[in-house]
Amino acid sequence: MNSREKILKDIVANKPVLTELTDWVAPKSIQSTTLVGDFEKLLVSLHSKVNHLSSKNDLLKEVDELRAQYPFVIDTIHAEGEPRKNIQQLDARSLESLDVAIIEGRLGVAENGAIWLTETNMLNRLLPFICKHLVLVIDAENIVADMHEAYKKIRIDEDGYGVFISGPSKTADIEQSLVIGAHGPLTLTVYIISNHS
């Protein structure tokens, strides 16, 4: 018997005793009446800015203000036709000076302030990571209590790629001091839309 066969024989002979999994009990969910408030508190605690809008029409005013303030803004929400295709084809070199990316989130999670983005909404996977300032838009009705509810609603097979984003980029690895914007967006602003129009 060679050493490989001996190792495999020892592994088979030393199988651990199987232990039954305990029954999983779902944690008590956040009350639906406080979802938006809890979601906002978490975002603020994660160094994000939160603004409330009464309709998607109000968002256009905010986008116009951002365009007036910054030279390079990409708005994936209102991009249609040729602009949409152009955004999809941009590479890292073309986006290195991107000031603001505006993307609609599919759902928000109250327990951790995370927002689920899909490739369909991003148009380009680089946008939420390469921009200086990230603006995410979420409908209040798409905020869920916790990650258990979020995963029940996510259909990754529809888009192929998605990511949860919670707060601006940050790290505490450098001399154990919190640094915001170390390897991604310097700021995250979230617009919560309460009504449709």
* Predicted pLDDT of residue 52: 94
The pLDDT of residue 197 = 44
pLDDT at 30: 64
Q: What pLDDT does residue 56 have?
A: 83
Model's pTM, two decimal places?
0.81
Three-state SS string over the chain comes to CCHHHHHHHHHHHCCCCCCCCCCCCCCCCCCHHHHHHHHHHHHHHCCCEEEEECCHHHHHHHHHHHHHHCCCEEECCCCCCHHHHHHHHCCHHHHCCCCEEEEECCEEECCCCEEEEEHHHHCCCCHHHHCCEEEEEEEHHHEECCHHHHHHHCCHHHHCCEEEECCCCEECCCCCCCEECCCCCCEEEEEEECCCC
Which segments in the chain show pLDDT lower than 50? 197
> What domains appear along the chain, each with residue ranges and CATH number?
44-193 (3.40.50.10420)
Q: Tell me the per-residue pLDDT of 128-142, one tens digit each, with 9 for 90 and over.
A: 999 999 999 999 999
Cα separations in angstroms, 165 against 37, 49, 84, 125, 157: 18, 14, 22, 13, 19
What does the alpha-carbon distance between residue 145 and residue 38 come to, in Å, rounded to a whole number? 9
pLDDT for res 43: 93
